[in-house]
Structure 1
Amino acid sequence: MWETQKLKIMKEMKNEIQMLQYRIKRYHDMRNGAMCQALNGKLQKLLAKQQAAL
């Protein structure tokens, strides 16, 4: 049961990481640096959280 729950959480984290990366690319293309920086901060925190979970 624990493994299934852990896999679900990891999958959700992966999806959120991919979504953030996509949004960062879109804002970068629109030359919106402030939003890129804000999203990059969220992405870095999520990546750190993911590494801690492994």
Structure 2
Amino acid sequence: MQIMKKRIDEITTLQYQIKRYQAAGKGAMCQSLNAKLHKLMKKQSAA
């Protein structure tokens, strides 16, 4: 249970960061964070 909570927190944090970088026009950082987000979401759905 604790691991799932930690992953959900990480996903939420990444989503927030992506929105902030998009607003700032930092496309490269958005791509990097999106890749990280997709990996985490894949792990979450597999669990």
Instruction: Report TM bin, short chain.
Output: over 0.9
Matched, 1:41 2:35: yes
Matched, 1:14 2:4: no
Query: Gaps spanning 5+ residues in structure 2: where?
Result: none
Calculate percent identity across the aligned residue pairs. 57
Q: How many residues align?
A: 47
Rg comparison, structure with higher value? 1
Query: Gaps spanning 5+ residues in structure 1: where?
Result: 1-6
Runs of 4+ in 1 over 4 A off after TM superposition: none
Using CA pairs under 8 Å that are at least 6 residues apart, name the structure with larger relative contact order, 1 or 2.
Answer: 2
RMSD: 0.3
